[in-house]
Structure 1
Amino acid sequence: MQYTFPEGFWWGSASSAAQSEGAANVGGKAPTIWDHWFETEPHRFHGQVGPANTSTFYERYREDIALMEQIGHNSFRTSISWARLLPDGHTVNQEAVDFYNKVIDELLAKGIKPFIGLFHFDMPMYWQEQGGWESRETVAAFAKYAELCFKLFGDRVACWMTFNEPVVVVEGGYLYDFHYPNQMDFKRAAQVAYHMMLAHSLAVKCYRALSLPGQIGIVLNLTPSYPRSSHPADLKASFIADLFFNRAFLDPAVKGVYPQELIDILREHDQMPVVQSGDGELLAAGKIDLLGINYYQPRRVKARMTAINPGTPFLPDWFFENYEMPGRKMNPYRGWEIYERGIYDILINLRDNYGNIPSYISENGMGVEGEHRFIGEDGQVKDDYRIDFIRGHLQWIHTAIAEGSNCRGYHLWTFIDNWSWMNAYKNRYGFISLDLDSQKRTVKKSGEWFADVSRNNGF
């Protein structure tokens, strides 16, 4: 069967400043929470590889953008480093302005539409020490940073994303200890989540006030919550999981309000964030133009089979347990289920329940450990498994579009094998293989395949 996508479909990939730039202590950049955490606890990072040792995009952006053009990209998402642009929180770093101007101009010169994010997990240590997202001061600072970015680059950047996966900041930093500051405190987590959505809304408000011609949105990792069975207890478990991990960000971003069911649960368990007068109007002003969807795996849940000790910390897990579906297809390297239809279910949910908001797949990808095992005699990684993964998801995206979904594009995570937080370079995701020692770039088989897909607008 031939799968042809709508004219103007965005074909490309995604990365972030912290994961690709390197130059952590170069060009006037100040430390982020990742620089600080790696300095204090390097043993928590795979192979003890930190954020200074990434794919050196800061020095090699021209080479990398030429490779993007070679493999058929017409769009690319990355982010600006807040700590690079405003290293002391207030003073503009001209070296950073020059760098981002050159990146944006180079992308445009190659016919690649830049999608620029403002925050991708990389809180400047300066603001973390002031309380991070627990503080309203950081919220106000983010709005000023966003406005600066819009004024500096908004004449050429037509697609802005305020946050990437805000729920991961909440889960990792304040619930499950896989991001700094490594807390387990739901009430603080709720405050962080709330303040991030206020910061998002302030940024959207700033963007609208400047009357720029582009679009502004947010990137959310939407993970469908599938119940084990149709039993009411399992259905309730999946409903609550969806509330915590999807709708807590999706509803305010698209509808401008929080789900009442979530508010009721937080009030019942005394976990509500501090809310100030005027917040409701601000959230309503933060409704987006465009939604980025990151999808990797489904969430399968069931009603709890064991009781909760009320003396333990309050967590979303009080309401459900994870369920491993027998016979599921797995990516054994990442430990994640591969369920291509999930991407269709997300798009149809947006069509039916969120006004069919314009959207695009901002991340989807397959991390594989030890890809050197698949290098052919010609030195190329023969990643047919990645081609199969992408093809399977694109087929379901195509089906959703045929059924009325307003999906505008597909970006793989990621362009080149990049640094992935605590996992560093354990799993490789890129269209381009990276030799970390020599920094040599080599197009994988999937990159060549994707070039054909993009140029044919289908397969």
Structure 2
Amino acid sequence: MTSPHHAPDAGRYPETFWWGVAGAGHQIEGHDTTSDTSFLEQVEPTVFVEPSGAACRSWELWEQDLDLVAAMGLGAYRFSVEWARVEPEQGVVDPAALDRYDALVDGCLARGLTPVVTLNHFTSPRWFGAAGGWLATDAPASFADQCARVVGRLGDRVPAFVTLNEPNLAATLLWGGLPPFVVDLQRRTLEAASAAAGVPRFRAANVVLPEEREAVEDGTALGHRAARDVVRALAPHARVGLSLAVVDDVALDEEGAALRDRKRAECYERWFDLVRDDDFVGVQNYEQIAHDRTGVVHAGEGSGPVNQMGTPLVPESLGGAVRYVHGATGVPVLVSEHGVATQDDALRAGLVEPALASLDAAVRDGVPVLGYFHWTLMDNFEWIFGYRYQLGLHEVDRVTGRRTAKPSAAVLARAVARRRADALVR
């Protein structure tokens, strides 16, 4: 590892702890027209319920976004660099795009925010998808070239890089049993994109066929190693890791434990082996799932509040996920995403304090946690679900781009302020 890490003592967070929010380029910037995902959104048929379009207009309104983060009293902002903007055509770099991300880093620093940069948050250039995406043999090398451009430009001011966002997501979704009609629509989407692009195999990281999952993972694992090498060569002071989608899986009986362990092996094992050479592992937790002899235990009617995907709200899932990942890897943890999809902001607000309390307990028990990033700053484009799911601390007017704080934003601000004050009086 490039630098030593120490767990906070006495259950308190150090002053260096990153309290922030996270976002991703394609989901908020708008008019990301040269990406593989924007291409998939436009073909017919498509698994995406609607195109991303103008999104949150953050390509122009990024300074407003940073002002919102600063106004909440937070100290960090995780964002992604859109490869498709930087290299819209293979071998053709847009210097204005790099200038824009450079200004974003400076804007963070000017507001006292630590920038944490994700090098690939699912989306890639259209030309990358037309070449087969992560199935192409030269994909890791192409990604390494992109990482070198970004890290070379931003690395002097960025203390941490996330190479890839949730490369295990396809496994968790497929293991959980995607409905057959969704898998079929994904297949027809990729067939339509391949035909529209005039290529034998158009592929993207966020629409993965079951039979290609392991091969895609092979490509992204090589991409992570290549990106990690770039960061360590060009920004040796910076921490580097990847983020994983992590469900807090719990077992209710012996058969449930066997089922849980089989899922964990398929969804996490290869990535845990990989991240043991990293400086941190990103944990992205949204839910707890219980297993028993019958399989997954689904929420029954009247069993309590659920998110928009129908999963019960269990605040303690955050602490459970963090403990599991650190215990399995021995690597420091970065909570790179945590939140809830719900139209009822009172549910979101009510989740904040008990979820953070479960993180407090993990820290108190010695789990080294580097930071917490809430997903997300504002309601945005949530991939195949479009704008139907709301995870933001702020509403966004789709016409004007106006941001309006929800009560949960103030709740998170107060919860973080208490913990930051505690760090200052240590």
TM superposition score category, shorter chain reference: 0.7 to 0.9
Could you say which residue in structure 1 is the equivalent of 2:265? 243
Could you say which residue in structure 2 is the equivalent of 1:301? 291
**1:444 lines up with 2:418 in the alignment:** no
Q: Conserved in 1, the CA contact under 8 Å of 2:164 and 2:243?
A: yes
Could you say which residue in structure 2 is the equivalent of 1:366? 340
The CA RMSD over aligned residues, in Å, is 2.5
Deviations 1:194-251 (A, max 9, x none): 1111110111112222353111111111113323412xx4322211100111223222
AA at the equivalent of 1:422 = I
**1:19 lines up with 2:27 in the alignment:** yes
Could you say which residue in structure 2 is the equivalent of 1:117? 118
1:385 to 338, 347, 351: 347
AA at the equivalent of 1:205 = D
C-alpha separation between the residues in 1 aligned to 2:341 and 2:208? 27
Could you say which residue in structure 2 is the equivalent of 1:340? 315
Could you say which residue in structure 1 is the equivalent of 2:236? 212
Secondary structure (helix, strand or coil) at the match of 1:217 reads: strand
Could you say which residue in structure 2 is the equivalent of 1:349? 324
**Across the two proteins, how many residue pairs are aligned to each other?**
387
Q: Conserved in 1, the CA contact under 8 Å of 2:304 and 2:312?
A: yes
Alpha-carbon distance, 1:99 to partner? 0.8
AA at the equivalent of 1:334 = M
**1:418 lines up with 2:376 in the alignment:** no
Counterpart mapping for 1:30-429 below 5 A: 30=34, 32-41=35-44, 44-46=47-49, 48=50, 50-169=51-170, 176=178, 177=183, 181=190, 184-186=209-211, 188-230=212-254, 233-254=255-276, 287-302=277-292, 321-324=295-298, 329-355=304-330, 357-369=331-343, 383-429=345-391
Secondary structure (helix, strand or coil) at the match of 1:97 reads: helix
Alpha-carbon distance, 1:123 to partner? 2.5
Alpha-carbon distance, 1:302 to partner? 4.2
Q: Conserved in 1, the CA contact under 8 Å of 2:171 and 2:266?
A: no
Could you say which residue in structure 2 is the equivalent of 1:10? 18
Identity within the alignment, %: 23
Alpha-carbon distance, 1:410 to partner? 1.5
Q: Conserved in 2, the CA contact under 8 Å of 1:227 and 1:302?
A: yes
Q: Would the alpha carbon gap of residues 183 and 149 (structure 1) be closer, same or farther in structure 2, given more than 3 Å must change?
A: closer
C-alpha separation between the residues in 2 aligned to 1:145 and 1:403? 39
Deviations 1:69-117 (A, max 9, x none): 1111200111001111111122211111111011111011101111100
Q: Normalising by structure 1, what TM-score?
A: 0.78
Q: Would the alpha carbon gap of residues 440 and 392 (structure 1) be closer, same or farther in structure 2, given more than 3 Å must change?
A: same
Could you say which residue in structure 2 is the equivalent of 1:375? none
Q: Conserved in 1, the CA contact under 8 Å of 2:12 and 2:364?
A: no
Higher Cα Rg: structure 1 or 2? 1
C-alpha separation between the residues in 2 aligned to 1:183 and 1:220? 16
Q: Normalising by structure 2, what TM-score?
A: 0.84
Alpha-carbon distance, 1:325 to partner? 6.0
Could you say which residue in structure 2 is the equivalent of 1:380? none
Q: Conserved in 2, the CA contact under 8 Å of 1:71 and 1:448?
A: yes
Q: Would the alpha carbon gap of residues 298 and 198 (structure 1) be closer, same or farther in structure 2, given more than 3 Å must change?
A: same
Could you say which residue in structure 1 is the equivalent of 2:196? none
C-alpha separation between the residues in 1 aligned to 2:310 and 2:387? 16
Alpha-carbon distance, 1:429 to partner? 1.2
C-alpha separation between the residues in 2 aligned to 1:54 and 1:446? 21
Unaligned runs of 5+ in 2: 1-10, 191-206, 422-426
Q: Conserved in 1, the CA contact under 8 Å of 2:78 and 2:115?
A: yes
C-alpha separation between the residues in 2 aligned to 1:6 and 1:66? 24
AA at the equivalent of 2:266 = F
Secondary structure (helix, strand or coil) at the match of 1:162 reads: strand
C-alpha separation between the residues in 2 aligned to 1:430 and 1:332? 13
Alpha-carbon distance, 1:350 to partner? 3.7
Q: Conserved in 2, the CA contact under 8 Å of 1:155 and 1:212?
A: no
Secondary structure (helix, strand or coil) at the match of 1:405 reads: coil
Secondary structure (helix, strand or coil) at the match of 2:168 reads: helix
